[in-house]
Amino acid sequence: MTTPHSIDMSKLKAGDEMPAFTTPALGRTNFVRYAGASGDFNPLHHDDEFAKARGMNNVIGHGMLTAGLLGQAIARWAGLIMVRKYAVRFSSQVQPGDTLTCGAKVTKVYADGNLPRADLECWVKNQKGDTMMTGTSTIGPHA
């Protein structure tokens, strides 16, 4: 089943990769905009003095901002209505100036009843190649 803005599930196979999605360098403005959208105004995300008083070198990006960027990349590739499950694990903190690359690889293609499904292994890496987040997702059409 192919819908506008979705992949052809019949052509997917284990090992296929989603095209990488790379962000521009993230800055404080991105963090503040996300704070406004999410309501998470923790000073760790925008106040240098507060962050430094807690032993950090700099403010950090919201983990859920990073999760949202990865989710957006998957939804753009597969189609928003195709995302069935999505889970992430944070592994490192995003700093101002980081450029993030989101990726995913198909690990399994199968049928759930008569509906096609694909499981994905997902990740976000920064410009140094450090893994910032890992995750899993399942994609496939609605009944």
Class of domain 9-139: alpha beta
Look at the block and give the residue holding tokens 């404080």: 28
Q: Which residues contact 39 (CB under 8 A, 6 or more apart)?
A: none
Token readout for 43 is 């000073």
The 10s digit of each residue's pLDDT in 78-103 is: 998 999 999 999 999 999 999 999 99
> Given a cut of 50, is residue 119 above it in pLDDT?
yes
Contact 31, 93 (CB under 8 A): no
pTM strictly above 0.75? yes
> Given a cut of 70, is residue 3 above it in pLDDT?
no
Q: Which amino acid is at 85?
A: K
